Copies of this chain bind each other. A is one copy, B any other.
Amino acid sequence: MRLQHATWQEVEAYLQHKRGVIVPIGSTEQHGPTGLLGTDAICPEVIAWELGKRHEVLVAPTQNLGMAQHHLAFPGTISLRPTTLIAVLRDTIESLAGHGFRHILFLNGHGGNIATLSAAFAEVYAERSMRRGGEPAAPLHLSTHNWFAGPRVRKLAESLYGDAEGTHATASEIALSWYAHPESIKQAELTPRVAPRGSAGCDADEFRRRFPDGRMGSDPALASIEQGQQLFEAGVMDCWEAYRAFIDTV
């Protein structure tokens, strides 16, 4: 069930017997000459929507903007500062917790969001921990699942691409985004075929110097729609497993 396509009464009814929700979170950032700027949002979104259909879990609207400062030297990238993203996540979590949601899983498509998600969870918890006293707050469980790091996805990406999977504009995320949006497949020559490796811990000018076409260690020319479908199935299964383990947390 997509929250955006539900009425408030449907959410109220859902809350009678379930307390979990999935929030897809991505980024809007360059993904090399053939990757879509929306790749990191598209991938978790398509998986989350499928979970919503298959398993009747509620899926909140996608957070399309993430922490992408290092990609800002490439046109089209839009980034939030970490402190801005923390505020967005805090307000999102407080809104959902106010309705009675107790398990909020962020289904993440961007490595650059991981630290800020974790800091945001701590910011929410810190508010509770510093104002202790009175009756204890209702339990609140917050977690991140990176779709690209699930065991089935990892294994499949390894078998399909080996080292050419890379770490940004990866072959597997390109494949999944093509499966989700076959009308938007792009062709471009990739030189070199496998992009240079290195660290993304730097500012935008330095990042572009290190990674001239935006890719990090990947050869997305290996990707295909069929592989995208396989990755989609693997991703749905990984994420469902992660979600089920998560909502059993007490």
> With A8-B76, A72-B95, A99-B75 in contact, is A142–B81 under 8 Å at CB?
no
Q: Would you list 6 pairs from A and B whose C-beta atoms are within 8 A, ordered by A residue? A: A8-B30, A8-B33, A69-B130, A82-B119, A112-B122, A142-B201
In the complex, are the beta carbons of B36 and A6 less than 8 A apart? yes
Which of B33, B130, B133 touches A7 (beta carbons < 8 Å)? B33
Per the bound structure, the CA–CA distance linking A86 and B84 in Å amounts to: 9
CB contacts (< 8 Å) of A123 on chain B: these are 81-83
CB contacts (< 8 Å) of A203 on chain B: these are 125-126, 128-129, 137, 140
Residues of A within 8 A of B (CB): 2-12, 15, 28, 30-38, 41-42, 60-65, 67, 69-70, 72-84, 86-88, 90-92, 94-96, 98-100, 112, 114-123, 125-133, 136-137, 139-143, 181, 184, 186, 188, 199, 201-206, 214, 249
A112 to chain B, nearest CB (A): 7
A187 to chain B, nearest CB (A): 10
In the complex, are the beta carbons of B5 and A126 less than 8 A apart? no
A16 to chain B, nearest CB (A): 10
Which of B77, B112, B184 touches A5 (beta carbons < 8 Å)? B184
CB contacts (< 8 Å) of A116 on chain B: these are 115, 118-119, 122
Which of B86, B126, B128 touches A119 (beta carbons < 8 Å)? B86
In the complex, are the beta carbons of B130 and A91 less than 8 A apart? yes
Which of B35, B94, B129 touches A130 (beta carbons < 8 Å)? B94
In the complex, are the beta carbons of B65 and A11 less than 8 A apart? no
A96 to B, closest residue via Cβ: B78
